[in-house]
Amino acid sequence: MKFLDEYRDADAAQQYARAIRQVVTRPWVLMELCGGQTHAIVKFGIDELLPPEISLVHGPGCPVCVTPIEIIDKAIALAARPDVIFCSFGDMLRVPGTDSDLLRVKAAGGDVRIVYSPLDAVRLAKENPGREVIFFAVGFETTAPANAMAVYQASRQGIENFTLLVSHVLVPPAMEAILSSPGNRVQGFLAAGHVCTVMGYTEYEPLAARYQVPIVVTGFEPLDILQGIIMCVRQLEEGRAEVENPYARVVRREGNEHAQRIVSEVFEVVPRKWRGIGSIAKSGLGLREGYRAYDAEQRFGIAEAVDEDTECISGLVMQGVKTPAECPAFGGRCCPEHPLGAPMVSNEGACSAYYRYRRVQRTPAIALPVGKQ
Ligand code: SF4
């Protein structure tokens, strides 16, 4: 397939791996920031191609995984209301809240609908003037422009029965939180190419300089990731800490200014709680004063904060401190059918990637008699 196969070429991947082996002289820990990159790394075995000096750890870049449990609980409470059509991307439906998830609400008769764009939810609101239509607006800088556009369009068209349940998060403050944490191991970042497509990469330049950490804007195909790794390792070996952009076929330094404009028209920067990590200052987006009427939390006034399940160590996984396989619940008490945390059910979750693609020795749920294994 053109524009895909050439980025999955096995010979070229081996050449990159050889080049990395020639460059590296000592151990380095790199973090890929996006869950899509994590899945590509585990699916294609990229980490297994690398010399033992290079460790890849997985960052907080799965939007579903970082959505805090109280927001999931709020979504569940709203979706159960008889006057509400609750719209969401499909991967939020199985994310566990405190006692339930959106799929169970749907099974119990709640009007929960999977949509492919927030503008579909605006259309539903127009078609159903007697119902309240709520769109679950989660994600990073990548999904914010479309969500901002939905609110903007609803406002322009005078649609009053449409609101967003907002849990948007921003990448650079999370990187700073990781870099400034006392247990930080990360020495270089593979930045998420799609986030940079929207935002550009100027925000990363002060981070690279302040923390002396290389940041390489990286795509999602195996060769993109290997190229990001070798550029990061070269910088580390040469003592450089710069932002580099080998993903120039997609990303410009200044990003997409039209998308940035609509985001700052509708949203403002706010503190945000990250699941498993905690509150990070200036790390989220919330609706601006002029668009507060489209805020579902304000309109419906819902729910209090709850404590997170302590058995799930997703916060440690998403900060690169542990791998999914190091979680005691992995593959046993936590599996896709019975998830304890969002990273096990999200398409971008590190735990789901390890469960799906990585051959690890899992403890059987039922011990078989000797001779029958
Ligand atoms: S394996 Fe399950 S319990 Fe462990 S960190 Fe991942 S999602 Fe949480």
| CA-proximal residue: ligand 1, atom 8 (nearest) | 312
Q: Is the CB of 355 under 6 A from ligand 1?
A: no
| CA-proximal residue: ligand 1, atom 1 (nearest) | 330
Alpha carbons 125 and 134: distance in angstroms, whole number: 9
Average pLDDT rounded to a whole number, residues 315-341 = 90
Evaluate if residue 305 carries a pLDDT over 90. no
Q: Do 340 and 334 form a contact (C-beta atoms < 8 A)?
A: yes
Question: What mean pLDDT value characterizes the chain?
Answer: 92
| pLDDT band of 306, cuts 50, 70, 90 | low
Q: Determine the distance separating the centroid of ligand 1 and the alpha carbon of 324, expressed in angstroms.
A: 7
Q: Is the CB of 68 under 6 A from ligand 1?
A: no
Evaluate if residue 368 carries a pLDDT over 50. no
Q: Determine the distance separating the centroid of ligand 1 and the alpha carbon of 100, expressed in angstroms.
A: 17
| CA-proximal residue: ligand 1, atom 3 (nearest) | 312
Q: Is the CB of 192 under 6 A from ligand 1?
A: no
DSSP string, 217-277: EE-SSHHHHHHHHHHHHHHHHHT---EE-S-TTT--TT--HHHHHHHHHHEEEEEEEETTT
* 373 vs 31, higher pLDDT: 31
| Range with lowest mean pLDDT among 24-33, 269-278, 296-305, 312-321 | 296-305
Evaluate if residue 80 carries a pLDDT over 70. yes
Q: Is the CB of 285 under 6 A from ligand 1?
A: no
Q: 167-181 b/e with 16+ CB inside 10 Å = b?
A: bbbbbbbbbbbbbee
Alpha carbons 347 and 118: distance in angstroms, whole number: 19
| CA-proximal residue: ligand 1, atom 7 (nearest) | 341
How far lies 212's CA from each of 32, 108, 234, in Å? Answer: 17, 52, 14
Q: Is the CB of 317 under 6 A from ligand 1?
A: yes
Q: Is the CB of 284 under 6 A from ligand 1?
A: no
Q: Is the CB of 351 under 6 A from ligand 1?
A: yes
Q: Determine the distance separating the centroid of ligand 1 and the alpha carbon of 258, expressed in angstroms.
A: 38
pLDDT given for residue 105 in this prediction? 97
Q: Is the CB of 334 under 6 A from ligand 1?
A: yes
Give every CB contact of residue 163 below 8 A, 6+ residues apart in sequence.
132, 133, 134, 135, 294, 295, 296, 299, 300
Alpha carbons 59 and 189: distance in angstroms, whole number: 9
Q: Is the CB of 200 under 6 A from ligand 1?
A: no
- Give per-residue pLDDT as tens, 115-160: 999 999 999 999 999 999 999 999 999 999 999 999 999 999 999 9
User: Which residue from 91, 344, 345 has its CB within 8 A of the most atoms of ligand 1, so it is best to mutate?
Assistant: 344
Q: Determine the distance separating the centroid of ligand 1 and the alpha carbon of 345, expressed in angstroms.
A: 10
Q: Determine the distance separating the centroid of ligand 1 and the alpha carbon of 326, expressed in angstroms.
A: 9
Q: Is the CB of 344 under 6 A from ligand 1?
A: yes
pTM: 0.89
Q: Is the CB of 340 under 6 A from ligand 1?
A: yes
